[in-house]
Amino acid sequence: MGRLRLLALPVVLMIASCGEPEMPAPPPIAVDVIKVVGGDVPNITELPGRIEAVRTAEVRARVDGIVERRLYKEGSDVPEGAPLFLIDPRDKQAQLAQAQAALSRAQAAQANARSIVTRYQPLVSRKAVSAQEYDAALSDARQADAAVADARAALDRAKLELGYTTVRAPIAGRVGKAQVTEGALVSASSATLLTQINQLSPIYATFTESSAQLLNLQEQVSSGDIRLPNLGAIEVRLVLENGQEYGPVGFLDFADQTVDPSTGSQTLRAQFPNPERLLLPGQFVRGRIVAGVVRNGVSVPQRAVQIQSDQASVMVLGKDNTVIRRTVTLGGQSAGKWVIRSGLRPGETLIVDGWTKVQPGQKVTPRTKGAKSAQSTPVKK
């Protein structure tokens, strides 16, 4: 009897399992999508660059002597004409005194020569003084005048050299580390370097663009695909070494008319305000240059773009709402969007939220509620 119960148990279980309904397949994952729309978008080119001072002045000795004092704080901002170093002035003071004495002697000789001419002048007509003697007196007077002029020039030179013993800032800017210390002997003949001053506001950023990029841009401008403004209206934004974007916007002010044969690149330069002195000469930066407007271009929200190992991609929907991964070429960021150079066309359906939950080939449920079409970034005209 017990054996019959054991044989009947599997049959009962099979009957019970056949009576249970199958579990339904889970519904496709819902993702937020937008329709890609073409329009005018900024033509953004990102180039490597370096910060340069607008003006740089090397401060050098203009007289020989011993440095007595440094008169500035290293690394401080100084106005034009601010005293920086004092070179022992005693030698130049003595030379100035000598020049003043030489001028006095020349003026005394000049007065004597002129008085002789004055005395001889009425005597010539009475034949009391020969014409030859009178001409010699006139010549002596002229030589005395020249000697006075020479002495005055020497005095001016002595005053100038005495002034050079106080070394002053030739431009306003940030003065660097002193290259000499108190007690050092400096020389005018070797133009001893004392320090350097850099003007930091405004400031330059220089970039290099390959000749191939330049040719492509020229072709697109010629074909009408890109509208390019005048050089001074081309906007530039800086990305610092820490990845942060520098606040103030700059504009191009120079484009070299030649290509460097060693690098095959052209030099561009932009000027930026630098009130906080955050930008310093020598810093590496990246410049986002808005080189005109691309007609019928595409830009998408940044959150829709995946970047891995310097490769960018997006998720789009294909037939039957199947997920497709698409590699795209980025053209820079503007107003919270990525400009897409290639890989995405107007009219395609782009996943903007939820792409982390799906895989290529998977079917999804597109959701457009609360999502807007991917429109072009507004462009100033």
Say how far apart CA 129 and CA 123 lie, in whole Å. Answer: 5
Query: H or E segment at 260?
Result: none
Say how far apart CA 192 and CA 57 lie, in whole Å. Answer: 14
Cα torsion 207, 208, 212, 213 to 10°: value is -10
Say how far apart CA 325 and CA 305 lie, in whole Å. Answer: 11
State the chain's mean pLDDT as an integer: 88
Residue 239 CB partners (closer than 8 Å, separation 6+) = 46, 245, 246, 285, 286, 287, 288
Nearest CA to 35 out of 378, 379, 376 is that of: 376
List strand residue ranges (DSSP E) for the chain, in order. 29-35, 39-60, 65-70, 77-78, 83-87, 166-168, 173-175, 185-186, 193-210, 226-227, 235-239, 250-255, 265-272, 284-301, 306-308, 311-317, 323-334, 337-342, 349-353, 364-367
Tokens representing residue 192 in the block: 């001893």
- Which residue ranges form the domains of the chain, and what is each CATH number? 29-43+296-367 (2.40.420.20), 45-53+204-293 (2.40.30.170), 62-88+165-191 (2.40.50.100), 89-163 (1.10.287.470)
pLDDT in tens, the chain (381 residues): 444 454 454 554 454 455 556 667 678 889 999 999 888 888 888 899 999 999 999 999 999 999 999 999 999 999 999 999 999 999 999 999 999 999 999 999 999 999 999 998 888 888 888 889 989 999 999 999 999 999 999 999 999 999 999 999 999 999 999 999 999 999 999 999 999 999 999 999 999 998 888 888 888 888 888 888 888 899 999 999 998 999 899 999 999 989 888 888 999 999 999 999 999 999 999 999 998 888 888 889 989 999 988 899 999 999 889 999 999 988 777 777 888 888 998 989 999 998 889 899 999 999 985 545 555 444 444
Measure Cα distances from 270 to 77, 185, 233, 304 in Å.
23, 41, 11, 32
Query: H or E segment at 91?
Result: helix 90-125
Q: What is the DSSP letter of 119?
A: H
Cα torsion 251, 257, 262, 268 to 10°: value is 0
pTM: 0.72
The reported pLDDT for the residue numbered 379 is 45
Residue 135 CB partners (closer than 8 Å, separation 6+) = none
The reported pLDDT for the residue numbered 44 is 86
Residue 81 CB partners (closer than 8 Å, separation 6+) = 168, 169
- SS3 of 104, please? helix
Q: Other C-beta atoms within 10 Å of 318: how many?
A: 14
Say how far apart CA 71 and CA 259 lie, in whole Å. Answer: 45
The reported pLDDT for the residue numbered 342 is 87
- Going by DSSP bridges, is the β-strand pair 29-35/323-334 parallel, antiparallel, or unpaired? unpaired
The reported pLDDT for the residue numbered 55 is 96
Phi-psi region of 172 (alpha: psi -120 to 50; beta: other; left: phi over 0): beta
Q: Other C-beta atoms within 10 Å of 381: how many?
A: 7
Tokens representing residue 83 in the block: 């005293």
Tokens representing residue 188 in the block: 């005018």
49, 285 in Cβ contact below 8 A? Answer: yes
Residue 39 CB partners (closer than 8 Å, separation 6+) = 296, 297, 375, 376
Cis before residue 24, ω within 30 degrees of 0? no
> 175: buried, middle or exposed (CB in 10 Å: 19+, 13-18, 0-12)?
buried
Q: Other C-beta atoms within 10 Å of 162: how many?
A: 18
